Amino acid sequence: MPNNSGIPSWKSIQFFENAIATHNAVESVTNRGENVFIINRKGHAPVVVYLTDVYTVGIADVIDAMTRIPDLGCVVTISNWNGYTQAAKDHGVQNHVGVFLFAELMGALNRDDFWAYVKHDDDGNPVYHYRG
């Protein structure tokens, strides 16, 4: 549930940890504190995720997370109601930082270049979450 602070609820964090742990490519998940998680993958490099619950991830959020977390791999906003601006997405990709909804992260974890992962619809068109 998005909120003004952007801090995910305890329930959302639990959901995140449980769901990630069931992913085929994931070996383990470590909570580093302050909503930063290290996802250790089988046969791929670990991914450092900053988990949030803001309604819209903007470019300022991405820059802020990159500044605070030098080894950042992804900014993930947990709820399906959430999304991101195109500027945030583009800035992330340029800096090898994935900007995702949780469901997108699940697809991205299968790839070495996880930050560039884009989901496609049944017709093969890329699906972004630029709309509110």
Partner 1 sequence: MAGPQFTDAKSLFAFAEKLLIENRAIHQKYGPECAAAATNPLSEGAILWSLRKCETILPNNEKIVNTFARNHDYLSAEQWKTFVEFREHALALKRNTYERMDREIVPRFPQSFQEMLVSYAK
Residues that bind partner 1 (CB under 8 A): 1-3, 9, 11-12, 15, 54-56, 58-60, 78-86, 102-103, 129-132
Q: How far is the CB of 15 from partner 1 (least distance, A)?
A: 6
Q: How far is the CB of 104 from partner 1 (least distance, A)?
A: 11
Contact by Cβ (8 Å): 54, 61: yes
Which tokens belong to 46? 């670990």
Q: How far is the CB of 58 from partner 1 (least distance, A)?
A: 4
Question: Among residues 46 and 55, whose Cβ is nearest to partner 1?
Answer: 55
Question: Among residues 45 and 60, whose Cβ is nearest to partner 1?
Answer: 60
CA distances from 63 to 20, 57, 59, 74, 106 (A): 25, 11, 6, 12, 23
Question: Among residues 78 and 97, whose Cβ is nearest to partner 1?
Answer: 78
Sheet containing 47-52: order of strands: 26-33, 36-41, 47-52, 74-77, 98-101
Question: Among residues 44 and 119, whose Cβ is nearest to partner 1?
Answer: 119
Over its C-alpha atoms, the chain yields an Rg (Å, rounded) of: 13
The C-alpha atoms of residue 12 and residue 82 are separated, in whole angstroms, by: 13
Q: How far is the CB of 125 from partner 1 (least distance, A)?
A: 17
